Amino acid sequence: MLNVIEVFDVIQRDPETGRSMWAGLTGTRMALKRDGHALDPKAMTYCPAEWIDERGYFNTDLVHQHPRLWGI
């Protein structure tokens, strides 16, 4: 069984255009709520738990340490 976790992209509004855009962060529900980010349920996906750092955010360095042969 895969050890995957639900993660969400942090979405911010561009002040000039009002459009939604990715803020460059992806994290767990608990980490985003703790840090005051709004959750967008449409921006939810799953990733291997090994790719999440101790703060609860997606970490590309961990992706390279724990590669997968296929995407989820």
Closest to 28 measured CA to CA, from 52, 4, 2: 52
- C-alpha to C-alpha distance for 13 and 18, rounded to whole angstroms: 5
Tokens standing for 44?
């939810």
- C-alpha to C-alpha distance for 46 and 28, rounded to whole angstroms: 10
- When pLDDT is cut at 50, 70 and 90, the band that residue 12 belongs to is confident
What's the pLDDT score for residue 5? Answer: 94
pLDDT of residue 67 exceeding 80, the answer is: no
What's the pLDDT score for residue 32? Answer: 94
- C-alpha to C-alpha distance for 8 and 40, rounded to whole angstroms: 7
* Residue 52 neighbours by CB distance under 10 Å: 19
Question: The whole model's pTM is what?
Answer: 0.78
Over residues 14-60, the pLDDT tens digits come to 889 999 888 889 999 999 999 998 877 888 999 999 999 999 999 98
